[in-house]
Amino acid sequence: MDVYLESCSSYEQAENVLPPLLKRYEGLFWKNETVWVKPNMLTTRSPEEAVTTHPTIVRGVLRFLLDLGVRPVVSDSPGVGSVKKVALACGISQVCQELGVPLIEIEGYVEKDGEVFKQLRLGDLIDQVDAVVNLPKLKTHGQMVLTLGVKNTFGCVLGLNKPAYHLRAKDYHLFADLLIDVHQLVKPVLTILDGIDGMEGNGPSHGLKKRLGLLAACENAYALDHAVASRLHVSPDKIYTLVRAKTRGLIPPYTIRGEWENSIKMPDTVGLTEIVKMPKWLQDYTHRWARVPVFDTVKCIRCKICETHCPAEAITVDDQRIDYKKCIRCYVCHELCPQDALLLKRKLLKAGGQ
């Protein structure tokens, strides 16, 4: 298995780098088959903010598929807002219009059993297409450390089911198992990672944009994620999805093609326990020094997105209160807040909670 890590210094250059990269995968597709192209469309942000997959990458992949006689459709289930609204903000709607590719709003769901989690609700589009092409964005992630190919397919779970799944899998390793179950059900035939402009620090929506200069491709997202983490000098042992994928025997042997490497600043939420090995009693103590969301009362516009999406029902916006006894530290509130009004502050919690 080859993982291609192509250096690419700008989206203008991507127009030249992408076609030969994609040409290697022509044999994966059939004329007239329907392919779901699944970018990261987290929320209504512009392409320049590096939160969503850049429209240049989406355009390049759609053109490649159209030239092969494939029928692509574009969709995702954004964290907040409709597909149409998010696609308009992140420039993907304009690309679909330009190329005459349908942009699909998923409304129904199908239930499927994963290996660890049963009855997972995925958007019903999954049963209406022949294949999925996965287009993640390279970003840090408060809970999962990095979001790459495997995490991106969680967008195939419909809107408000996502917070419910965070509650179903409170433990980070268990949540990684759930992400892997979803990924195994979606089974993308190809993953193309947009790492030209990525995000470091407190991603995946309020971190710092960083030019990382990478276009990566592989048929296997576990291999791709493992290769990218290694070349970012982030130990794959710190990435929950990779730890669980390794245990489940899902990372195939691979060869990296390309010289790209870079570095990335971790989210503040990545604790000491993830960095150094320590005895259990010390782990419990350091866990109590957790980063927790705290309201920035000046920035908050009381839209209640955080309250609606908090899986633990720990947030009351009216009196700007967070119940840390209930909080499972999934950081969904921080991810979805449109105002960056939830700060991640270190707080000493009592044993077992607040």
Q: Tell the smallest beta-carbon distance from residue 312 to ligand SF4 (Å).
A: 4
Q: Tell the smallest beta-carbon distance from residue 115 to ligand SF4 (Å).
A: 25
Q: Which segments of the chain does DSSP mark as H helices, in order?
A: 11-23, 55-67, 83-89, 92-99, 149-152, 161-168, 172-186, 221-231, 240-247, 272-275, 280-288, 305-309, 332-336
Q: Tell the smallest beta-carbon distance from residue 321 to ligand SF4 (Å).
A: 10
User: 126 in helix, strand or coil?
Assistant: helix
Kindly list the distances between the CA atom of residue 66 and the CA atoms of 56, 188, 194, 214, 242, in Å, as whole numbers in the listed order.
15, 18, 20, 24, 33
Task: By CB under 6 A, name the one of 58, 106, 217, 327 that touches ligand SF4.
Answer: 327
CB closer to ligand SF4, 101 vs 332: 332
Count the neighbouring beta carbons within 10 Å of the beta carbon of residue 91.
Answer: 18
Q: What is the CA radius of gyration of the chain?
A: 19
CB closer to ligand SF4, 95 vs 322: 322
Taken as a whole, the chain contains a residue count of: 354
CB closer to ligand SF4, 55 vs 163: 163
Q: Does 169 bind ligand SF4 (CB under 6 A)?
A: no
Q: Does 337 bind ligand SF4 (CB under 6 A)?
A: yes
Q: Does 341 bind ligand SF4 (CB under 6 A)?
A: yes
Count the neighbouring beta carbons within 10 Å of the beta carbon of residue 16.
Answer: 10
- AA identity, residue 6: E
CB closer to ligand SF4, 193 vs 315: 315
Q: Does 331 bind ligand SF4 (CB under 6 A)?
A: yes
**Which stretch in 60-68, 84-92, 211-219, 333-341 sits in contact with ligand SF4 by CB under 6 A?**
333-341
Q: Does 330 bind ligand SF4 (CB under 6 A)?
A: yes
Q: Distance of alpha carbon 72 from its chain centroid, rounded?
A: 21
Number of residues that bind ligand SF4 (CB under 6 A): 27
CB closer to ligand SF4, 250 vs 315: 315
Binders in 210-239 for ligand SF4, by CB under 6 A:
none
Give a three-class secondary structure readout of 161-214: HHHHHHHHCCCHHHHHHHHHHHHHHHCCCEEEEEEEEEEECCCCCCCEEEEEEE
Task: By CB under 6 A, name the one of 61, 104, 169, 314 that touches ligand SF4.
Answer: 314
* Greatest distance between any 2 Cα atoms in the chain: 60
- Give 244: exposed, middle or buried? Use CB within 10 Å, 0-12, 13-18, 19+: buried
CB closer to ligand SF4, 118 vs 345: 345
Phi-psi region of 343 (alpha: psi -120 to 50; beta: other; left: phi over 0): beta
Q: Does 270 bind ligand SF4 (CB under 6 A)?
A: no
**Which stretch in 48-56, 117-125, 210-218, 309-317 sits in contact with ligand SF4 by CB under 6 A?**
309-317
CB closer to ligand SF4, 182 vs 337: 337
CB closer to ligand SF4, 231 vs 334: 334
Q: Does 192 bind ligand SF4 (CB under 6 A)?
A: no
CB closer to ligand SF4, 63 vs 334: 334
Binders in 283-302 for ligand SF4, by CB under 6 A:
293, 295, 300-302
Count the neighbouring beta carbons within 10 Å of the beta carbon of residue 278.
Answer: 13
Q: Tell the smallest beta-carbon distance from residue 173 to ligand SF4 (Å).
A: 17
Q: Tell the smallest beta-carbon distance from residue 218 to ligand SF4 (Å).
A: 31
Task: Name the one residue in this structure whose structure tokens are 């103590």.
Answer: 285
Residues near ligand SF4 (CB under 6 A) are: 293, 295, 300-306, 310-312, 314-315, 317, 322, 327-333, 337, 339, 341-342
